[in-house]
Amino acid sequence: MSEFDFDLTVIGSGPGGYVCAIRAAQLGLKVACVEYEETLGGTCLNVGCIPSKALLQSSEYYAHTLHDLAKHGVKVSNPTLDLPTMLKRKDEVVKGLTSGVQGLLKKNKVTWLKGRGSFVTAQKIKVTAADGQVTEHSTKNVVIATGSKPIEIPPAKFDRKLIVSSTGALKFDAVPKHLIVVGGGVIGLELGSVWMRLGAKVTVIEALPQILNGMDTELAKGLMKILEKQGMTFHLDTKLTETKTAKNQVTALCQKSDGSTVEITGDRMLVAVGRKAYTEGLGLEAIGLTLEGGGKVPVDHDYRTPVAGVYAIGDVIKGPMLAHKAEDEGVAVAELIVGQAGHVNYDAIPGVVYTWPEVASVGISEDKAKEQGLEVKVGKFPFMANGRAKAFGMTDGFVKIVADKKTDRILGAHILGPNASELIAELAVAVEFSASAEDIARSTHAHPTLAEVVKEAALAVDKRSIHI
Ligand SMILES: Cc1cc2nc3c(=O)[nH]c(=O)nc-3n(C[C@H](O)[C@H](O)[C@H](O)COP(=O)(O)OP(=O)(O)OC[C@H]3O[C@@H](n4cnc5c(N)ncnc54)[C@H](O)[C@@H]3O)c2cc1C
């Protein structure tokens, strides 16, 4: 008999936490997962990746019906929006997946401790249930996977009606007339796209000179141009300084980097300026764990915090705030705890923006390669020259591959175009396997597919694309 109630207690059931719990159970550990929300799955399943993608898909169907089907000879008279049904469907998708996670935990004999977890000691976790009942559980190891929350900024405090975070923008009960989006990052552009497709005027305010900060410049500029064509308005180099609200009206007072001012009035404002690590109520002080700069839980290469037996993964630690990064860290830390060689390759984590067209990236960008003085070759191929993209009627964008000049090894790949989110998988595997551009160029890609654009971009690295 173990001297502990659990070998491992995971605090948080997001993609980091629940995946870690399952992997640890597979490896033979007795595992508990603490979660205070009514449903499992964390931000990703409840108010993040999944509901946003459900709405992106539904709104895309609506926009295609309005604008594109007639070109294919499909005439639909007076398509109308049934927003309650669209929102209900989104909720059903979420419900199916969150109860799926509950089933997975059960199948793997992971105990769900319902309530808010906090440290009594590094090896004792207190769980406070919604009704105030407190239980304590001894545990050999703890993984903190408490995720993140939206950042609130002083000039635009969330009132959950006119000024909302991403969570509020997933459930507007009517299409805003004019949605002001503060922040031209992934979440702002995705949710801005949803409501624009459904009929809202959308204005994006971005403090930096480019949307999608950190993304390959050519991709970010290309996407912005296309979104502008779709009707989105952008104010770059523009900082929100104050917000005024009146009945059903919100006015953003902004200052541009040249000192001039802009005033924008709408009826809803989405503030999507980033997320911060969430550690409230965890009782880190009880175990003497202090946060590092930016409020993140400090960890070493093996996700160990400075407190013995306490690990952390996902949004609550450094690195990109992405569900698949959290999942892979969850698997790695479980394997490390049992003495295996868990590992995440941070150079091969893809990032996707699910706008239309989509944007996807993995590895180093052309700009970063130049900044770092790396000698690279770049191959690029447009969707315009691809048969399948023509058949789809979706020819915006390109694939760009950045390879080492001497070794031809693929260092990064960047896609703006239809189904970029799926196409990037091949290139993420290429980066993971240290493949060369030649490896991709020599691999047979089915015809006609969008994936042929990836192959042609790999050929372009050596200036030998065929179809252009
Ligand atoms: C609108 C939106 C869209 C997104 N889209 C994508 C996308 O398309 N792709 C992608 O990769 N990422 C996306 N993300 C980011 C993604 O959701 C996060 O990176 C991911 O959920 C992080 O996982 P996590 O396990 O670290 O934390 P979380 O998913 O945040 O889960 C943490 C969990 O811990 C629980 N918790 C916190 N404190 C305690 C406590 N003391 N006791 C018990 N439980 C606690 C919380 O209730 C929560 O359930 C999106 C995010 C948002 C907001």
Backbone φ, ψ for residue 215 (5° rounding): -80, 150
Going from the Cα of 310 to the center of ligand 1, the distance in angstroms, rounded, reads 20
pTM of full prediction above 0.85? yes
Contact 49, 351 (CB under 8 A): no
pLDDT of residue 293: 86
Catalytic residue among 67, 72, 343, 447: 447
Going from the Cα of 15 to the center of ligand 1, the distance in angstroms, rounded, reads 7
pLDDT of residue 110: 98
Atom of ligand 1 nearest to the CA of 37: 47
User: Does the beta carbon of 183 lie inside 6 Å of ligand 1?
Assistant: no
pLDDT of residue 106: 98
Read off the pLDDT of each residue in 38-64 and give the average, rounded to a whole number.
98
Going from the Cα of 186 to the center of ligand 1, the distance in angstroms, rounded, reads 15
Closest Cα to atom 1 of ligand 1: 48
1 has pLDDT over 70: no
Read off the pLDDT of each residue in 435-442 and give the average, rounded to a whole number.
98
User: Does the beta carbon of 315 lie inside 6 Å of ligand 1?
Assistant: yes
User: Does the beta carbon of 59 lie inside 6 Å of ligand 1?
Assistant: no
Dihedral over alpha carbons 429, 435, 438, 443 (to 10 degrees): -40
395 has pLDDT over 90: yes
pLDDT of residue 398: 98
**Residue 399 belongs to what H/E stretch?**
strand 398-404
User: Does the beta carbon of 333 lie inside 6 Å of ligand 1?
Assistant: no
Q: How do residues 242-260 score in pLDDT, each as one tens digit?
A: 999 999 999 999 999 999 9
Question: SS3 sequence, 407-456?
Answer: CCEEEEEEEEECCHHHHHHHHHHHHHCCCEHHHHHHCCCCCCCCHHHHHH
Q: How do residues 320-345 score in pLDDT, each as one tens digit?
A: 999 999 999 999 999 999 999 999 99
